[in-house]
C-alpha cells in the first residue's frame, strides 16, 4: 500500500497547479516577448529548446544530485552511536548541501536568476513542509542564503516522495520548458492545445536529461541578460 501513496505524493508535488509559486514566473518568456524575440508558437518552441539545452540541463543535473544526496544522507547510519560522531556527520551533510547550493549559484551569474530560483525554492520548501510534515528540512537552515535554490528543493522533494534521481532530473528539465510555455499562452494569447503539442515534441529531449551524470555548466547569457533587464521593467505580469 505504501508505493501508490508515494506515487500520488510525487504527482502532487510536481503538479503545475501546486501553490509553490511557479505560476508567478515566466522563465524569461516575458522579457523575451517584450523585446520582440518571441512572437509566435515557432518562436516559443525555439526559446524552450534553447532553455532546455542550457538552464534546463543545469537544473536537471542539480535536481538529480540533490535527490541522490538526500537519499544518501537518509540511508547513512553512524555505526558508533555517540553524540560527537553524530554532530560531525550532521555538519558534514550540511557542508555538502552548502557546496551544492554554491555550485548552482556559480552557474547563474545573473542576480535576477538566482533570486528567482531561491524564491521558487522557498515556495517549494513551504509546500514540502505542508505535504510532508514529518520530513526534517532543517539541514537547509545552515545555508548562507535565506532559501535553497529550486532544483535542490525539487530533488529533495522527489526523494521524499519515493522518486529517483532520474525522476528528479526529468522533473526539473520539464519545468524549465513548461513554465515559459505556460507564460507564453498568457502573454501571446496562443492556443493552449498547440502549446501542449509543442511541449510533447520536446519530451524526448526532456527524457535525455534523466540519464545525465555530473553537474552541467551550460551557459545561457541571453537568459541572464533578459532576466536582469526584466527587473528594470516597471509593468510586468511575472516576477521573472
- pLDDT of residue 118 exceeding 60, the answer is yes
192 or 76, which is more confident?
192
pTM greater than 0.75 (yes/no): yes
Share of the chain above pLDDT 90, in %: 65
User: What pLDDT was estimated at residue 6?
Assistant: 58
- Taking the C-alpha atoms of residue 14 and residue 31, their distance in angstroms, rounded to an integer, is 26
Tens of pLDDT along 19-58? 787 788 999 999 999 999 999 999 999 999 999 999 999 9
Which pLDDT band, with edges at 50, 70 and 90, does 85 fall under?
very low
Share of the chain above pLDDT 70, in %: 91
Average pLDDT over residues 95-99: 91
With 0-12 / 13-18 / 19 or more C-beta atoms within 10 angstroms meaning exposed / middle / buried, residue 211 is exposed
User: What pLDDT was estimated at residue 90?
Assistant: 66
Cα–Cα separations (whole angstroms), residue 28 to 7, 58, 148, 182, 184: 31, 16, 20, 12, 10
Amino acid at each position: 500500500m505504501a508505493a501508490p501513496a508515494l506515487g500520488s505524493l510525487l504527482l502532487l508535488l510536481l503538479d503545475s497547479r501546486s501553490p509553490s509559486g511557479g505560476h508567478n514566473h515566466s522563465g524569461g518568456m516575458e522579457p523575451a516577448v517584450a523585446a520582440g524575440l518571441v512572437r509566435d508558437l515557432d518562436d516559443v518552441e525555439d526559446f524552450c529548446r534553447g532553455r532546455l539545452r542550457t538552464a534546463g540541463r543545469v537544473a536537471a543535473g542539480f535536481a538529480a544530485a540533490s535527490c541522490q544526496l538526500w537519499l544518501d544522507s537518509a540511508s547513512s547510519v553512524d555505526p558508533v552511536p555517540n553524540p560527537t560522531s553524530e554532530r560531525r556527520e550532521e555538519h558534514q551533510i550540511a557542508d555538502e548541501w552548502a557546496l551544492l547550493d554554491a555550485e548552482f549559484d556559480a552557474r547563474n551569474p545573473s542576480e535576477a536568476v538566482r533570486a528567482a530560483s531561491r524564491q521558487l525554492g522557498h515556495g517549494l520548501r513551504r509546500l514540502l513542509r505542508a505535504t510532508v510534515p514529518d520530513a526534517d528540512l532543517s539541514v537547509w537552515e545552515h545555508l548562507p542564503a535565506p532559501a535553497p535554490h529550486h532544483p535542490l528543493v525539487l530533488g529533495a522533494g522527489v526523494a521524499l516522495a519515493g522518486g529517483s534521481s532520474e525522476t528528479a532530473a526529468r522533473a526539473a528539465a520539464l519545468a524549465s520548458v513548461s513554465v515559459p510555455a505556460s507564460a507564453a499562452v498568457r502573454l501571446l494569447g496562443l492556443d493552449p492545445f498547440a502549446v501542449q503539442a509543442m511541449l510533447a515534441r520536446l519530451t524526448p529531449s526532456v527524457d535525455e536529461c534523466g540519464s545525465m551524470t555530473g553537474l552541467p555548466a551550460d551557459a545561457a547569457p541571453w537568459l541572464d541578460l533578459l532576466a536582469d533587464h526584466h527587473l528594470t521593467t516597471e509593468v510586468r505580469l511575472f516576477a521573472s
